[in-house]
Amino acid sequence: MPGFQRMHVLKPRDRSQDYLIVSEWDNEASFKAWTRSDAFKKGHRRGFEDLEEAKKRGEAPPMESRFRTYEVLTE
């Protein structure tokens, strides 16, 4: 995907906590383009399906995604 640099998947030591996925991009426009791409939809299909099924059953979603943008201050 144009603009993608790398990704880190962080597993919490405390199993009650959420995983953290950190991806690095050349710029925000590249990231936003990826979230609208067929590759994004295909790669996240199961998650979208799980969310839809939970909604149909009136249940809380099995997972949550929040996109946040940060600026790197040091490396």
**pLDDT tens for residues 15-68?**
888 889 999 999 999 999 999 999 888 888 888 888 889 889 999 888 777 888
- Give the Cα separation of 72 and 69 in Å (integer): 10
Q: Is there a domain that residue 65 lies in?
A: no
Q: Is there a domain that residue 72 lies in?
A: no
65 with 51: CB under 8 angstroms?
Answer: no
Q: State the pTM of this model.
A: 0.70
Q: Is there a domain that residue 17 lies in?
A: yes
pLDDT at 11: 95
Q: Is there a domain that residue 71 lies in?
A: no
Number of domains the chain is built from: 1
Q: Is there a domain that residue 43 lies in?
A: yes
Name the residue range of residue 19's domain: 4-56
Q: Is there a domain that residue 11 lies in?
A: yes
pLDDT at 14: 94
